Every structure is written in structure tokens, then in C-alpha cells.
Amino acid sequence: MSFPETASAEDVIDQPARAQFEAFLDEHRRELNGCLDGLTEEQARRSLVPSATTLLGLVKHAAFVEKVWFDEAVTCRSRAEIGIPATPGESFVLHDSDTIATVQQAHREACEASRRATASLGVDDIARGNRRGPLPLRWVYLHMLRELAQHCGHADILREQILSGYRVTPP
């Protein structure tokens, strides 16, 4: 299952803000999910930085933030009800059952659930389930764009290092 074909950023230049937000979000979602394409399981799990950040962990974390911002914040369900970790840091933790295929699928499903959760909302509608308090959907979209853009940048650098054969030498 791949990401649905959606409008590109170029296609929505003269469209309402919502269409623009969704096009940019979907482009970033697709790029981040695709950072795992063509890699081995070992490469996807390879740690090149002191934190728990790996390419597989970034995509797993992206599924987590989709659920935080478009399930918890929009539907007001708790993280426990949703079945996600209590903290962002925990969302990077990889388990033996986490594979490229399962993490990509979970991310695609989280993105689709996000689209469904917001389908009937306007950008000025209020999400009431976030710890910050009530937030307009416009703010949630902007926050997600920032988050995904950062992680796409991280993924670009990590993937480049992995494909070039870069290895971290222990001190």
C-alpha cells in the first residue's frame, strides 16, 4: 500500500489554505515514509548519532506524532486509549517486531486516520485534546509541517550517510 496520489504543492498555489496545508503535509509524509525504501533492515536501524534516532525510528515517531496531533488533539482520546507511548522519546524505541514494512504500514495508516479525523473540520475549528489547551486546526497543521520538515531533513542526512557507507567509530 502506498500513499494516495494527492495534489502537489505546485497544484495548490491558488487554492484555499486547507488544500495548501494538506498538500504540503502529504508531500512531507510521503518523503519521510520513503526514506526507508531500498534499505536493508540493518541500514534502517543503524544509529549514526548519540540519540535513539534512526531512519526506522524517525518513521515510527512520525506515526506517533500523527496520532498525537490528529487523534489525541482532535478526538480527545488519551494516549493510552490510542495505544501510543506516553512521551515522544519512547516513540523512537524499536522493537524486534518493527520492520521496514510494518513501520511504513503503520505510518501510512496513521496518516490516513489523520486525514479522516480532519475531513469535516475547517482550519479555524478548534482541537481540544492537546495538553496546551484548545488549538485551531491551522496551528496543528503548521506544527505538523514544522515537525515533518525537521524529520525529513534528519532523514535525508542519515540516509546519505548510510548509503555512502559512513559508520560511527566508537570512542
pLDDT tens-digit map of 88-98:
999 999 999 99
Structure confidence by residue, pLDDT tens digits, 26-85: 999 999 999 999 999 999 999 999 999 999 999 999 999 999 999 999 999 999 999 999
Residue 68 CB contacts under 8 Å (≥ 6 apart), including other chains: 79, 84
Residue 170 scores a pLDDT above 90: no
- Which grid cell sits at 78? 488519551
Tell which wins on pLDDT, 136 or 167.
136
Beta bridge partners of 12: none
Quote the Cα angle for 124-125-128, to 5°.
130
pLDDT of residue 33: 98
Model confidence band, residue 171 (pLDDT cutoffs 50, 70, 90): low
**What string of DSSP letters covers 90-111?**
GGG---TT--HHHHHHHHHHHH
For 148-158, b where at least 16 C-beta lie within 10 A, e where not — what string?
beebbebbeeb
pLDDT > 80? residue 144: yes
**Which residues, in sequence order, are CB contacts of 49 under 8 Å at separation 6+?**
158, 168
Percent of the chain whose predicted confidence (pLDDT) is above 70 = 95
C-alpha cell at position 147: 515537525
Indicate if the pLDDT at residue 1 is higher than 60: no
**Which residue from 90, 22, 100, 117 is spatially nearest to 59, judged by alpha carbons?**
100
- The pLDDT assigned to 157 comes to 97
Residue whose C-alpha is closest to residue 153's, from 65, 35, 43: 35
- The highest-level CATH class for domain 25-163 is mainly alpha
**8 Å CB contact between 76 and 129:** yes
